[in-house]
Amino acid sequence: MSLSAPSSAAPLLAARGLVKFYGKTQVLHDVSIDVAPGEAHVVIGPNGAGKTTLFKAVSGEFPVDGGEIRFDDGNVTKLAGWQRVRRGVGRSFQVARIFGEMTTAENLIVAVEARERRTRGGFGLTFRISPRHGTLAEVRRLLDGLGLGPRADDPAKLLSHGDKKRLELAMSLALRPKLIMLDEPTAGMSPGDRTAAAELIDETRRAHGLAFLLTEHDMGVVFGLAQRLTVLHHGRVIASGEPAAVRDDPTVKEVYLGHG
């Protein structure tokens, strides 16, 4: 079933009727999802429901087999992932993208400088040891804003799991996207770190007016963050709308939330 969406703003992201096959197995069946500017839209569903596949489709990791993806009023369905990044689709850096031997601050310097090179239309992967004027001030703001100030000079490989997640989010923010996609941002965290991470995401969204598309298994985090909730089950959207309405939906209770 489809419940009414709370937002009347024109969507930043509008995916319509997405279809994806892995070989002969259909994993996404006519999946549609919107994210409004500044909104946190959380996708939930049992293991194997297709959440990660939906994320990969939206971020351009592979082409879809049907449907259309519009972002910021342009059709991005045929664009490669890096082209979507240029338009403002940000996917959180995975831990593997962090350079472990470099400090927390140096990782952020690389991210800020990469954005500047991109904006200026430059190429090349060289990292200049002397950062541009302005980069260090921006890195300091990101570090302080995400509570990483005390870790600035620590090698990234020595950060706790929670701090690595913060660094990933900071690196995503450094690229100044319009939408940030986070696939299970609190996975593997302690309950305390989970609460802190959810607060951080919510604060970041409010402070920067950023839109978020997230998947998450922790229902405390889900209901603390979501302005809108979509439930996937066997690759189909079974409910989408305001969190309270989705939570009370009988089908959702039966196939998913009822278990907890």
Binding site for ligand ATP (CB under 6 A): 22, 27, 45, 47-53
**Separation of CA 193 from chain center:** 18
Nearer to ligand ATP, 56 or 115 (CB): 56
CB of 48 to ligand ATP, least distance (A): 4
Tokens of 188: 């593997």
Nearer to ligand ATP, 24 or 133 (CB): 24
Nearer to ligand ATP, 44 or 180 (CB): 44
What pairing do the DSSP bridges indicate for beta strands 228-233 and 66-71?
A: unpaired
CB of 71 to ligand ATP, least distance (A): 20
CB 170 within 8 A of CB 146: yes
CB 246 within 8 A of CB 258: no
CB of 50 to ligand ATP, least distance (A): 4
* Residue 208: C-alpha distances to residues 39, 59, 63, 70, 256 (Å): 11, 21, 30, 22, 33
CB of 254 to ligand ATP, least distance (A): 18
**Separation of CA 239 from chain center:** 20
- 248: number of Cβ within 10 Å: 13
Nearer to ligand ATP, 46 or 155 (CB): 46
